Each structure stands twice: as structure tokens, then as C-alpha cells.
Structure 1
Amino acid sequence: MHALSVGVFAFQLCGYVALSTWVEWRWYHRRRGKEREWKTQPGKMHGKIHRRGAARDDDDDGRGRRGYYAWGLPALDLVRASPSKDGRHPSHACYATCNLVVSSLFAGATCEAYLAGDGKLFGLFRSTLVNASAYSVASAYSVLVGAVLAVTWQSVLEYYWHRAMHLPRVYRLLHKFHHHYKSPQPWDDLFIHPAESFGYCLILYSPAFCVPSLPVQAFLLYMTIMGACGVLDHCGVKMRWPFGAYDTQFHDVHHRSFDANFAFPFPTMDRLHGTHRAS
């Protein structure tokens, strides 16, 4: 086990926690009571208002009941004396914690496989990282092209994987857990059946093994996009990139309607298959 692999595992885990915590604090704590300005579904909230303790005058649940802000990290509910389960699925804390750890293990294992010298898996990906001359020649253009190829690879596989998750029997056994939340909030993206989550992790990390001549910078850029969009897709906060390239309300529509907007993170595959629904 290499120290770099352990560091990648820790970075993946802590990075997810940091981004989710920032979103939760920035909107669900700091702008509580102003949901109509920023929330995708203002009338639907869960797991954020608690009735014990002191709070600011505007810090209530909409019915005049004072509350306090509680960090929503699912792992805390495994050790809290009084777990926060307002609107949460009974398996939320266990599944979400397990999925975060497994995803981070995938990141560490991907790094470890590379460092072990398994060039068969990575092709030129390995030489780009360890060969100084190849590293210096790698241009912004090659990084951009590599990231686009990785995103395209993932987008195609994820779309058909997600459609398969909505087959009646598969949905009942696996995907129904994720759709417990009709209006997702921070940390809800982790609530997936572990078997489904494992399958998606195989897709998520597959470009490192399957996309030829992928520079390491391109793979890191790809993973940054996927990680950020995975959190933002389920944060319940209105965010939109210029020209409508990305909109957090796109996936929010899927949680409301089930039969549209299966793609992640961009709507291209839905547009091609006629399953796109405007947000």
C-alpha cells in the first residue's frame, strides 16, 4: 500500500464531506427561511430543523418552532445518542456511510493499481504521470480532449445503467431506495443501495482503465466534474452554468417524475433518446 493511494482515499472522502458541508451550511443554515429564493422545491424539507436548543429569531421550521442547526453527515447518526431521522429513511446513515467509504476505496484502489505498474489497465495514462518528458509535452488541448472523452464514456454507460435501474424488478430491489427522496438535499446522493452504488463506481472509475491515452490531468479534471456535479445534482439548490450547459434542477426533475432526465451530469443522452424534460 502506497502513501499516495492512502492520500487519494482521504482526499476523495474529505473532499466530498467538505463540499456537502459547505452547501448545507451556505444555504440550509445561513439562508433558512428564504427557501423560495434558492431551493428547487421550496415546500419540501427534511432532516434539517431540530426543536431543541437556542437559535436565531429567524431559525425556525416555518411553524414558529425554534430549532438549531445540526450537521447532516450521515455517519454521525450512527453514533448520535438521538439520531436525526426527520424524513430520513431508516437505512440512510448506514447505506450513505458505506457508499462514501466504498467510493473513496475505489479512488485509492485506482491509484494503487496505477502505482503497481499495471500498464495494461492504464495504457499511456501511466507514462503521462511518471515520464517527465511526456508530462511536459501534455498540453491543455490534450487534457481537455481527454476529459471530454472520459465524460462521454461515463455519460453513455451511466445513461443505460440508470435506465436499467428503472426496470420494474430492478427498481423494486435496488433503485427504489434512492428515490425515497422526492426533493433531494445535501448527503442524499449517497443514499443508494450498496449494490447499485458499487456498479456505478465501476462505471465512474472505468475511464482510467478503458479510455486510451488519457493524461492523468484529464482524469483528475473528469473526476472533479463528476464529484462536484454528483453533490450539486442532489443539493436542492438552484445552480446553473452559463448557456444552460448544466442545471441542478435537471436531475431534480428526475426525482419528481421518475420517467425523465436519466443522464448524468449533462442532458445530452436524454436529448438523443427523447427522455429529456425541461426543468
Structure 2
Amino acid sequence: MVAVFLLAATVRGEWLLLVVLLGKSRLQLWYAQLCEVIEEPSGHQSLTNRSGEGGFSLDRYKLQNVHLVIGFSLLTSFIMFYTVSWGLQWIYYIKRRDKPEEWKCQPDRFLTPDNERHEIFMGSCNMALGAVVSGILATYIINGGHTTLYYGLADRGYLYLVLSIPGLFLYDEASAYYYHRMYHSPLLYRWIHKAHHRYGCPTAFSAVAMHPLEMLHYQAYLAAPAFTVPLHAGAFVGVLLYIYYYGMIDHSGIRFDSIWPWQEPSVFHDNHHRYFHCNFGANTKLFDWLHDTCRRKDRIYGEHIFGGRGKRKESSKQN
């Protein structure tokens, strides 16, 4: 569980952003000292702080020395991504491959070698993309850019703080459900989301193995509250970490039981990959329950049966 949690913190490229939010003042001091070190002997600042051709200046957009932050973001993300994810692969998919019935959601199915290589490649590319975006956002915040996050527990009252946590969670869950379901419309599924459903029995690498446009879309709605809604930094980070953690759990292909009342076991989302157009929820089945899109045993599902409710077995026999 600890390993999955650490992987979750890095796999979407948000590692550095989380560090910034948890320790902004200290990181600002460290960052200022680092910027002094990279000044040129002549007293002029490095190229990252100068105006470029046409008067463009990174300072103007609060992105001075962004290359340092992106570099650190990429380094930490790649180290954690490969160390932890390969660890899970070794423990389950290699060492226990001969006993899949003991741990695997789909014990009779494994990805082909070609799909395994593809998910690692796509996951790595998207993790790098996320790390770059995260590094840019982190640099912007470090340099004093606008954010609606606050750090004092009592700044907006304790009631607001307590209520903001489930409010943010419901926002993230609703966004995940409706955007996910949108990507399961015939056109978007065919051109974008089908890339993610290439992995019918996913592993941890599959969590971010998707079309880059979809990756950017998900990262955008998850990061948006930090710039639009007053939220305590700890609450924002806590909810974000949980979402990332469960995103790894439900893509792992490993049977994990639910540990919270609202959380579904990992097989819930694994069935989404197995049956395609059902079980759209990310962390709960609340919205699937509201819209009747939970997978049901009395219905038939398939890649070309859209809508989320499957096809009644009786009607399929008649047809």
C-alpha cells in the first residue's frame, strides 16, 4: 500500500507541485538561494531570466528558471515511477504469475508482450508530459503567481475547512465521472479514449497510458481548484493524493478490497476495462448508481454497445 501511494504521488507528474503546496515558504527560500548560485560571473542573470527575442521575458510570466524546476520534476517522477511500478510488477506479475487466482482481478487474462511494452511507453510519455506541466505550475506558484490556496487552518474558519474536503472530493468525482462518460461517446471513444482501452486487463502502468490530450484534460480539472476556489493547501493535497492513490489501485489489476465505506474494490474499475462502457466512476460508484451505469449481470456489454447500460439479454436473444 505504501509503495502504491508513493507511485500515485508521482505517476501523473504532480510530485513537485505537491511539494510546493506543502512547503511553499521554505521552497521559495531554497529557490531564491538556488537562483543566486546560477547567476553569471558578470553579474547578469542566466538566460532563463533575460528577455528573449521580441521582448519575451520569463519573469513577466513568473517562470524564471523554469528549466530547473522541470528538470527536478522529471527526475523525481522517473525515479519513483520506474522504481515502484517495476517493484509491483516483480512482486505480482513475475514472482506470482503462476498463481494469478490468488491476487489477480482477471486471473485468466494477461496483457500481450506488445501491449505491455506499449503501456510502459505511453505511461512514460504521459508521465513526462505531466511532469513538465507540473513543473511549470510549480514554478509559477514559487515565483509568487496567483493561487487561491491558503495555509492557515483558521483563515476561513474551521467549518469551511471541514466542508471543503468532501466538497472538493465530490467535485473531483463528478468531473471524473462525466468527463469519463463523455470520452465514451462513439466519436471521442474512437479517436481518443480507445487508446486507453487497449489494455483490457490493466496494470499499474496503464493508469496514465492514454491519449496525451486526455491526460492534459484530466490534469487540468484536477489542478483547477488550486487557482479558482479558496482551499486549504493541506485539504487540496490530501484529496489529490487520495485520488491519485486510488487511481493506481483500480488500474493495478490486483485485487484490493475497499478500506473506506465509499470506496469500491479495485475490481470495480477493472470490470470497466473488461466490459468497456460501464462503471465510469473513479473513486466511488455514486454517479454510476444515480445514472444506472453500474455493470449488471443480466445485461450484455461490449466495445460497441454504448450508453453505459448494456443490452438486455432477452432482447439480444430476440435480435
TM-score (norm 1): 0.72
Residue 22 (structure 1) shift = 3.3
SS of the aligned residue for 1:199 comes to helix
1:33 and 1:141, CA in 2 relative to 1: closer, same or farther beyond 3 A? Answer: farther
1:24 aligns with 2:89: yes
Q: Which among 183, 187, 212 is matched to residue 194 of structure 1?
A: 212
1:201 and 1:219, CA in 2 relative to 1: closer, same or farther beyond 3 A? Answer: same
Quick check: 1:237–1:248 contact (8 Å CA) kept in 2? yes
1:62 corresponds to which residue? none
Residue 151 (structure 1) shift = 2.0
CA distance in 1 between partners of 2:122 and 2:78 (Å): 15
Residue 5 (structure 1) shift = 6.9
1:50 corresponds to which residue? none
1:184 corresponds to which residue? 202
CA distance in 1 between partners of 2:238 and 2:161 (Å): 8
Report 1:19-168 matches (<5 A). 19-46=84-111, 86-88=113-115, 91-119=118-146, 122-123=147-148, 125=149, 127-128=150-151, 134=152, 145-168=163-186
Residues 121-141 of structure 1 show CA distances to partners (whole Å, capped at 9, x for unaligned) of x22x1x41xxxxx26879998
Quick check: 2:70–2:132 contact (8 Å CA) kept in 1? no
Equivalent residues, number: 231
Runs of 4+ in structure 1 over 3 Å off = 1-19, 89-94, 135-147
Residue 181 (structure 1) shift = 1.2
1:248 aligns with 2:313: no
Tell me the C-alpha RMSD between the 2 structures.
2.9
CA distance in 2 between partners of 1:136 and 1:7 (Å): 33
Quick check: 1:106–1:205 contact (8 Å CA) kept in 2? no
1:275 and 1:223, CA in 2 relative to 1: closer, same or farther beyond 3 A? Answer: same
Structure 1 unaligned runs (5+)?
48-85, 129-133
SS of the aligned residue for 2:192 comes to helix
CA distance in 2 between partners of 1:205 and 1:37 (Å): 37
1:106 and 1:219, CA in 2 relative to 1: closer, same or farther beyond 3 A? Answer: farther
Residue type matched to 1:182 in 2?
G
CA distance in 2 between partners of 1:203 and 1:222 (Å): 13
Residue 41 (structure 1) shift = 0.2
CA distance in 2 between partners of 1:273 and 1:4 (Å): 43
CA distance in 1 between partners of 2:296 and 2:73 (Å): 37
CA distance in 2 between partners of 1:202 and 1:275 (Å): 25
CA distance in 2 between partners of 1:139 and 1:238 (Å): 40
CA distance in 2 between partners of 1:152 and 1:244 (Å): 11
Quick check: 1:175–1:196 contact (8 Å CA) kept in 2? yes
Residue 108 (structure 1) shift = 2.3
1:141 and 1:171, CA in 2 relative to 1: closer, same or farther beyond 3 A? Answer: same
Residue 254 (structure 1) shift = 0.6
2:59 corresponds to which residue? none
Quick check: 2:120–2:205 contact (8 Å CA) kept in 1? no
1:230 and 1:140, CA in 2 relative to 1: closer, same or farther beyond 3 A? Answer: farther
2:245 corresponds to which residue? 228
Residue 196 (structure 1) shift = 1.4
TM-score (norm 2): 0.63
